[in-house]
Amino acid sequence: MRLRTQYSIAMVLLIGIAVTFMSAILFYQFSKNARVQQTVSTEAISDAIILQIMKRGEFMTNSFSRYLVDDIYYENQAKITQALQSSLTQQDLLFIEIFDPKGYIINDGSVELWAFGNQVNDPQMLNAIRKSDNIYTRIEADKVIFARSIKIDDEVIAGIHLGFSLLYIQKDISKMEKTLQKELTELSERDFQKNIFIVIVASLLLLIVGIIMAIFTANKLTQPIHQLALHARKAGKGDHLNRIELNRSDELGQLAAIFNKMNRRLLKNKKEIHYQAFHDHLTGLANRNMFNKYINETLQQAANQKKQVTVLFLDLDGFKAINDTFGHEVGDKLLIVIAERFNAVIRKQDSIKFAELPNNMLVSRIGGDEFTIVLQDIGEKQIVSQIASRIIRSIASPIELSGEQLNIGVSIGISI
């Protein structure tokens, strides 16, 4: 055999060995990166879901501790039960308990109040909230516990205790991890076979071509996984508006679609919780939380711009007697009708919209039979007087509910 032929064969063999060795290194790195990205993605998704539960739990605990103060103080069990039941419809919420300062349950969200009078079975939690005004949080193997004391001024009148199940989260994470692992494994196997063919062909041509092709292919495969991990980290920090734009019809494209769907669901839940925290569940008006936030911002803005702010405090006269005589159901219907009458009166003013939040007004229900109207930049005091007079006249006409003619009045305090 001629030397040139031997040299050519040797070069071909060396090129083949070098390309095969480099390709093996590249594919090993690719597999390692895929495993790392799978781990990072799974951990990021898990952290995002756990963080969402923590935010939901802290938000609900703080909201109930403020929203239920008056009802607990006046022992309004019906209102407390109604508020708790609206949240117990959440699949992963295990329980909500309101207990007195001694740790005895006064409301568990059930109509029958099955747990009334029972001792709260969590001495660690009780001891912690007695020592601190901060929210108490404890993560266990299968649930997350939240609690805090409920105070009026500096006096503890009750406490709230709720728990979220981690079972559904663990199932979702396990299912997502299996899906991610399966899809990445299948994708790796198919692309490995494809790139082996490319490497064999490239080994007959040029070493550098094979290396470039291997690097290009590896980058092509790992880039979407990096993109998924990046968006998972953003979701873990509470950014649910970002969307993965991955125009692929394969498994990675399907995985991106699953992530986007999960993100939309988390964003929807977040918006629903925010709405419940700042709106009255009965009338749809802004609640006390929204009123406090709005009045603080409005007063600050008015002080900077040297404008006036007018606040109307409306208290229904005779509502308690009607509520005690005809029951809470009639009382709730009466509040809805009164809110509608407020609507009819306020809509006569061009600058006011009912139950909306334009720049110049806010209508709120801040208590059982207490309402407020905040008006900005009212040029003439006569307009405020006209609004108050129309409200009084609208409430003065009888209201027919359940076959009864109900008469109720309203007292209005005006602060400018």
Given a contact cutoff of 8 angstroms between Cβ atoms, the answer to whether 77 and 113 are in contact is yes
Given a contact cutoff of 8 angstroms between Cβ atoms, the answer to whether 260 and 253 are in contact is no
Same structural domain, 250 and 296: no
- Read off the amino acid at residue 241: L
Cα–Cα distance measured from residue 145 to residue 161, given in angstroms and rounded to the nearest whole number? 7
Cα–Cα distance measured from residue 64 to residue 82, given in angstroms and rounded to the nearest whole number? 12
Q: Is residue 145 part of a domain?
A: yes
What is the biggest distance separating any 2 CA atoms in the chain, rounded to whole angstroms?
Answer: 118
Same structural domain, 211 and 345: no
For position 358, what pLDDT does the model report? 42
Number of domains forming the structure of the chain = 2
Cα–Cα distance measured from residue 145 to residue 317, given in angstroms and rounded to the nearest whole number? 42
Q: Could you list the pLDDT tens digit for every one of the 416 residues in the chain?
A: 543 454 445 555 666 676 677 667 766 665 665 565 556 566 777 777 788 888 988 999 999 888 899 999 888 999 999 989 888 888 888 999 999 999 999 999 898 889 899 999 899 999 999 888 889 999 888 889 999 999 988 889 999 999 998 887 777 777 777 776 777 677 666 766 676 677 667 666 766 755 665 556 556 666 666 676 676 677 666 665 666 666 677 777 777 777 778 777 877 777 888 788 888 888 888 889 989 998 898 888 888 888 888 898 999 988 888 888 888 888 898 898 888 888 777 765 544 433 333 456 788 888 888 998 888 877 677 778 888 888 888 888 888 887 788 888 889 898 87
**For residue 334, what is the domain's CATH number?**
3.30.70.270
Same structural domain, 269 and 314: no
Q: Is residue 259 part of a domain?
A: yes
- Please return the burial class of 31, using the count of CB atoms within 10 Å of its CB with bins 0-12, 13-18 and 19+: middle
Same structural domain, 245 and 386: no
Residue where a domain terminates, one of 231, 257, 277: 277
- Tokens found for residue 68: 């239920």
Q: Distance between alpha carbon 141 and the CA centroid of its chain, in Å?
A: 23
For position 36, what pLDDT does the model report? 58
Cα–Cα distance measured from residue 340 to residue 350, given in angstroms and rounded to the nearest whole number? 17
**For residue 125, what is the domain's CATH number?**
3.30.450.20
Q: Is residue 122 part of a domain?
A: yes
Which residues neighbour 216 within 8 Å (Cβ) at sequence distance 6 or greater? none
Expressed as residue numbers, the domain containing 333 is 288-415
For position 105, what pLDDT does the model report? 93
Q: Is residue 282 part of a domain?
A: no
Rounded to two decimals, the pTM is: 0.40
Q: Is residue 218 part of a domain?
A: yes
Instruction: Report how far apart the first and last C-alpha atoms of the chain are (Å, whole number).
Output: 109
For position 34, what pLDDT does the model report? 58
Given a contact cutoff of 8 angstroms between Cβ atoms, the answer to whether 97 and 160 are in contact is yes
Q: By C-alpha distance, which of 198, 168, 159, 158 is closest to 27? A: 198
- Tokens found for residue 176: 């997502």
Give the pairing of strands 409-415 and 309-317: antiparallel
Q: Is residue 283 part of a domain?
A: no
Q: By C-alpha distance, which of 282, 315, 308, 390 is closest to 346? A: 390
Same structural domain, 131 and 169: yes
Q: Is residue 187 part of a domain?
A: yes
Q: By C-alpha distance, which of 182, 191, 200, 193 is closest to 221? A: 191
Quick: pLDDT tens for 364-393.
888 888 998 888 877 677 778 888 888 888
Same structural domain, 271 and 356: no
Angstrom CA distances, 259 to 6, 49, 368, stand at 57, 12, 42
Same structural domain, 255 and 367: no
For position 39, what pLDDT does the model report? 64
Residue where a domain terminates, one of 251, 277, 303: 277
Given a contact cutoff of 8 angstroms between Cβ atoms, the answer to whether 162 and 60 are in contact is yes
Per residue, the 3-state secondary structure of the chain, as one string, reads CCHHHHHHHHHHHHHHHHHHHHHHHHHHHHHHHHHHHHHHHHHHHHHHHHHHHHHHHHHHHHHHHHHCHHHHHCCCHHHHHHHHHHHHCCCCEEEEEEECCCCEEEECCCCCCCCCCCECCCHHHHHHHHHCCCCEEEECCCEEEEEEEEEECCEEEEEEEEEEECHHHHHHHHHHHHHHHHHHHHHHHHHHHHHHHHHHHHHCCCHHHHHHHHHHHHHHHHHHHHHHHHHHHHHHCCCCCCCCCCCCCCHHHHHHHHHHHHHHHHHHHHHHHHHHHHECCCCCCECHHHHHHHHHHHHHHHHHHCCCEEEEEEEEECHHHHHHHHCHHHHHHHHHHHHHHHHHHHCCCCCCCCCCCCCCEEEEECCCCEEEEEEECCCCHHHHHHHHHHHHHHHHCCEEECCEEECCEEEEEEEC
CB atoms within 10 A of CB 262: 18
Q: Is residue 337 part of a domain?
A: yes
Which residues neighbour 407 within 8 Å (Cβ) at sequence distance 6 or greater? 318, 398, 399
Same structural domain, 26 and 159: yes
Given a contact cutoff of 8 angstroms between Cβ atoms, the answer to whether 57 and 140 are in contact is no
Same structural domain, 301 and 262: no
Same structural domain, 18 and 144: yes
Same structural domain, 87 and 173: yes
Q: Distance between alpha carbon 278 and the CA centroid of its chain, in Å?
A: 13
Same structural domain, 234 and 299: no
212 φ/ψ angles, rounded to the nearest 5 degrees: -60, -45
Residue where a domain terminates, one of 277, 306, 327: 277
For position 322, what pLDDT does the model report? 87
For position 272, what pLDDT does the model report? 80
